[in-house]
């Protein structure tokens, strides 16, 4: 099959990103509308309420009614799900709803037997399914690609010594850059002190809105035992690891299999290696085809995210968000170029040009796993990294190397401690560096996992875990940003390791 050439795909994707953000902010989810569905007789009815002055929950046996004001749409939804979880019965009384024909007259509405309260969809969020198709197509490739390419990658390293050398370099690069990233996060958070700049009002608002979500995340995580996590890297059943999408287990099995293939007779190993090689190539070719829908997919994803969450939430937590974003920028555009300069001959501009598609996909999907196929393709084709290095370094990096996530976790931990008035001493900050490095290895390369692993870090230094409620509102947007850093770190790693092994194949990019 001839390679499908897409004229100026980067520009199309970039335009889709900008247009998606504009579209999402114009056709955004209405902040003063709620859709209430309730049981009436035997059927469920829905009503849309718009523009209330006061939204009250009346709970039998409780003297005070719980009241919310005009701008508290998210708080109302969270409080309702809390009541539902506790199976409490309640009535809703809404006052101050303007009549459409005469805005001066205020209406009162009551609801009982309420089944759900939700935001009303908008065009920007209604098209999210198109973006979901795009993410699913990319994620569909990720697991067979990791399996096939890591197996071939490990087998093609030839002997155990070469494997140990490249493996050692890869792991060291990943660990060192992660430690640098968290340190940047900690230094910035200690200098700027974003937690001390948060108003008591915002603190109360964030806690009341997101405590419900936060406690369900804490409950789901359960207890975390590092020894058990190490044991869990070894799959009891590799097929189950594939069906569960457990990346660390898949990596373990693939690398092990690849190594063994280099130890059995050539006659038996080569058909298998050819098979995996063919599978890996087909997966990469699939990326070309899937990329045809990238502009539409990116547009839909960004418009849905901006339409639902908006950028205004960033204003509420402006100092915290700014520290995370500045930290990520320093690491992405400062640390990696320095490392590339020291350890490779590649020009910074060539590097960033080569991976701009990777960065846009990472930003719009928030998933290193979904971005992996694109990263492998760009590193091979645009940066000249050999197939055996990309096959080994990138799948490993997508799973265990998360500099952006680690940096954000460092800032978040200090921020939450500052809001709660907890002074973190030097030992505690070192503990954060160690736990965040380990946690970033265990973080699955999918959206929103960074905040769950943050719970472990908070626990390790005695910061109340419920504090994640403070930062949940902006997490989605920051997740998009930190995923850019995560995938850039993987690509920089591939270039650096390839350079050290003289495996940059492009003559003009070569280190030789």
> Residue 449 or residue 472: which is nearer to ligand ASP going by CB?
449
Residue 401 binding ligand ASP, by CB under 6 A: no
Least distance from ligand ASP to the Cβ atom of residue 486, Å: 4
From the list 25-33, 324-332, 337-345, 480-488, the region that binds ligand ASP by CB under 6 A is 480-488
Q: Is 402 in the site for ligand ASP (CB under 6 A)?
A: yes
Q: Does 246 bind ligand ASP (CB under 6 A)?
A: no
Smallest gap from residue 464 Cβ to ligand ASP (A): 21
Q: Give, as ranges, the residues between 482 and 501 that touch ligand ASP (CB under 6 A).
A: 482-483, 486
Closer Cβ to ligand ASP, 454 or 463, answer by number: 454
CA distances for 124 relative to 30, 138, 305, 479, angstroms? 11, 22, 8, 20
Which is closer to ligand ASP, CB of 92 or CB of 330?
330
Q: Round to whole Å and give the CA distance between 397 and 142.
A: 13
> In the beta sheet, which residues pair with residue 91?
58
Structure tokens of 353?
A: 């040009």
Those residues with Cβ within 8 angstroms of residue 190's Cβ, 6 or more apart along the chain or in another chain: 414, 429
Least distance (Å) between residue 481 CB and ligand ASP: 10
Residue 367 lies near ligand ASP (rule: CB under 6 A): yes
Query: Of the candidates 336, 333, 384, which has an alpha carbon nearest to the alpha carbon of residue 503?
Result: 384
Q: Judged by CB, which is closer to ligand ASP: 479, or 501?
A: 479
Give the closest residue to 272 by CA, choosing from 155, 389, 163: 155
Closer to ligand ASP by CB, 166 or 247: give it: 247
Q: Which residue has the tokens 């990596």?
A: 251
Minimum distance, C-beta of residue 115 to ligand ASP, in the bound complex (Å):
32
- Give me the 264-303 binding string for ligand ASP, x by CB under 6 A, dash otherwise: ----------------------------------------
Q: How far is the CB of 273 from ligand ASP (least distance, A)?
A: 30
383 contacts 351 by C-beta, under 8 angstroms? yes
> Which of these segments, 160-168, 333-341, 389-397, 441-449, binds ligand ASP (CB under 6 A)?
441-449
Q: What tokens were used for 483?
A: 């995923």
Residue 78 or 440: the one with the smaller Cβ distance to ligand ASP is 440
Asked whether 482 and 328 are in contact (CB, 8 A), the reply is yes
Residue 53 in tokens? 């002055």
Rg of the chain (C-alpha set): 25
* Residues across the chain: 512
Give the separation between CA 442 and CA 436, rounded to whole angstroms: 10
Q: Site mask, ligand ASP, residues 442-461, x = CB under 6 A?
A: -x-xxxxxx-----------
Tell whether residue 355 is a contact of ligand ASP (CB under 6 A): no
The distance of closest approach from Cβ of residue 452 to ligand ASP in the complex, given in angstroms and rounded to an integer, is 8
178 binds ligand ASP (CB under 6 A): no
The site that binds ligand ASP (CB under 6 A) totals a number of residues, namely 16
Q: How far is CA 476 from CA 153, 214, 321, in A?
A: 34, 14, 11
- Residue 405 touches ligand ASP, criterion: CB under 6 A: yes
Residue among 448, 426, 308 at smallest CA distance from 365:
448
Q: Which of 313, 320, 348 is nearest to 334 (CA)?
A: 348
| Residue 439 interacts with ligand ASP (CB under 6 A): yes or no | no
Nearest to 93 by CA among 77, 109, 107: 109
Q: How far is the CB of 224 from ligand ASP (least distance, A)?
A: 16
Stretch binding ligand ASP (CB under 6 A), from 58-66, 226-234, 415-423, 481-489: 481-489
State the sign of the Cα–Cα–Cα–Cα dihedral 256, 177, 320, 431: positive
Q: What is the DSSP letter of 3?
A: P
Q: How far is the CB of 367 from ligand ASP (least distance, A)?
A: 4
Q: How far is the CB of 398 from ligand ASP (least distance, A)?
A: 8
Q: Minimum distance from CB of 480 to ligand ASP (Å)? A: 8
Contact between 366 and ligand ASP per CB under 6 A: yes
- Determine the Cα–Cα distance for residues 203 and 173; give it in Å rounded to an integer: 38
Cα three-residue angle 217-220-225, rounded to 5 degrees: 110
Q: Which residues bind ligand ASP (CB under 6 A)?
A: 366-368, 402, 405, 443, 445-450, 479, 482-483, 486
């Amino acid at each position: 099959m001839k390679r499908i050439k897409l004229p100026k795909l980067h520009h199309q994707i970039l335009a889709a990103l900008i247009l998606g953000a504009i579209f999402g902010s114009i056709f955004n989810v209405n902040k003063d509308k709620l859709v209430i569905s309730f049981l009436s007789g035997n059927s469920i009815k829905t009503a849309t309420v718009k523009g209330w002055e006061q939204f009250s929950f009346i709970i039998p046996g409780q003297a005070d009614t719980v009241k919310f004001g005009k701008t508290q749409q998210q708080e109302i939804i969270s409080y309702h799900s809390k009541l539902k979880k506790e199976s409490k019965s309640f009535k809703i009384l809404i006052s101050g709803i303007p009549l459409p024909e005469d805005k001066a007259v205020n209406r009162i509405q009551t609801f009982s037997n309420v089944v759900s309260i939700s935001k009303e969809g908008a065009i920007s969020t209604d098209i999210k399914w198109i973006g979901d198709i795009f993410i699913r197509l990319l994620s569909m490739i990720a697991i067979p690609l990791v399996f096939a390419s890591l197996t071939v990658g490990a087998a093609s390293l030839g002997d155990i010594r070469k494997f140990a050398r490249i493996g050692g370099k890869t792991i060291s690069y990943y660990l060192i850059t992660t430690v640098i990233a968290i340190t940047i996060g900690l230094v910035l958070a200690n200098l700027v002190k974003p937690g001390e700049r948060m108003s008591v009002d915002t603190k109360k608002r964030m806690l009341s809105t997101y405590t419900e979500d936060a406690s369900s995340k804490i409950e789901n995580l359960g207890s975390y035992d590092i020894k058990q996590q190490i044991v869990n890297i070894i799959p009891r059943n590799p097929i189950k690891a594939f069906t569960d999408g457990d990346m660390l287990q898949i990596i373990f099995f693939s690398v092990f299999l690849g190594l063994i293939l280099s130890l059995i007779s050539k006659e038996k190993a080569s058909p298998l290696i050819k098979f995996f090689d063919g599978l890996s190539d087909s997966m990469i070719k699939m990326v070309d085809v899937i990329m045809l829908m990238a502009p539409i997919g990116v547009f839909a994803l960004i418009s849905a995210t901006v339409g639902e969450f908006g950028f205004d939430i960033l204003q509420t937590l402006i100092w915290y968000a700014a520290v995370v974003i500045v930290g990520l920028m320093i690491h992405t555009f400062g640390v990696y170029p320095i490392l590339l300069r020291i350890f490779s001959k590649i020009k910074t501009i060539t590097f960033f040009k080569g991976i701009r598609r990777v960065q846009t996909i990472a930003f719009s999907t928030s998933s290193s796993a979904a971005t992996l196929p694109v990263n492998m393709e760009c590193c091979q084709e645009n940066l000249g990294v050999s197939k055996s290095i990309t096959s080994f370094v990138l799948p490993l990096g997508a799973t265990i190397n998360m500099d952006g996530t680690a940096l954000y976790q460092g800032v978040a931990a200090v921020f939450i401690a500052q809001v709660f008035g907890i002074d973190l001493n030097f030992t505690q900050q070192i503990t954060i560096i160690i736990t965040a490095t380990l946690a970033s290895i265990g973080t699955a390369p999918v959206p929103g996992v960074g905040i769950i692993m943050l719970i472990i870090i908070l626990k390790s230094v005695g910061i109340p875990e419920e504090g994640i409620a403070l930062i949940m509102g902006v997490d989605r947007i920051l997740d998009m940003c930190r995923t850019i850093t995560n995938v850039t770190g993987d690509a920089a790693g591939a270039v650096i390791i390839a350079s050290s092994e003289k495996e940059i194949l492009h003559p003009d990019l070569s280190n030789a």
